[in-house]
Amino acid sequence: MPERFLPLLQGIATIVDEPMSAQAVVATARVRYDAALFAKMPTLKVIARTGIGCDNISLPDATARHIAVCNVPDGPTVSTAEHTLALLLAVTKKVKQAEARLHRGEKGDFFSGHNGIELAGKTFGLVGFGRIGRRVAQLASSFRMRMMVYDPFARADGYAQAASLDELLRAADVLSLHLPLTNDTHHLIDASKLKMLKRGAFLINTARGGIVDEPSLLAALENGHLQGAGLDVFEHEPPPPDHPLLNRDDVVATPHIAAATDSAKELLWRTALTQLLQVLRGERPPHLVNPEVWK
């Protein structure tokens, strides 16, 4: 925890050397919180996520033990949306390929040999239209792209709304994922879904790696059906250095750092700690993921 937040704990909580005796935990996405771990932490009262996703926390197990789980829905919104656009531009403008040519010391007519994509007029398909998806739509609209949204739980609010995921896939020139990882969304984008995309389409994933079946994505890139992918997330993180998606000129990859900006970190830590302390004081936090524990 950054030292600048320590004053928030004064008079309410202290940091313990033995985590199994903790009453509260500030949780990153790297640890799996489930019944097995909870059995070793009998005093645990609250888990505060420094982010929005809670796929590494078993909510039924936490609720069964009356452990409050909080998240920070707004923390990663702006930075993750901006990173989505960074990946979009890098992969469609084929920045990695162009840079590689310079590193190889190539000579000649670079202009004629490069085939970046102009985004104006292209269809940007968004799967998931929560806080991050909405922000991405606002930003990408400045490129004069056509927005199309698929989210069975949210209205598109002025953008084109696809009646089904298949409809969106068939229309999208760029597919961008902004949905949580659940049992229903695990490997949602598999070989059959990737085949529905236009030949030459692009995939951007700043949500969760497990939403995409990686071998199918690799195959779609290798056979030329997809032109490229921008990935901030992988099914197993960090991916090994020899991961087949990492060493491709048509893939721009980052290690799950879309929200790793100074502004986002400040908001994530401060909000997570504030809610953690609220629970310890007996106050209901504003972003309680399992509200049934408060009954």
> Looking at the annotation, which residues are catalytic?
208, 237, 256
Which amino acid does the sequence have at 153?
A: F
Which amino acid does the sequence have at 238?
A: P
Tokens of 40: 């070793």
Do residues 150 and 164 lie in contact, with contact meaning Cβ atoms separated by under 8 Å? yes
Do residues 62 and 36 lie in contact, with contact meaning Cβ atoms separated by under 8 Å? no
Instruction: With CA atoms as reference, report the closest residue to 93 among 60, 125, 67, 118.
Output: 118
- Euclidean distance between CA atoms 119 and 144, whole angstroms: 8
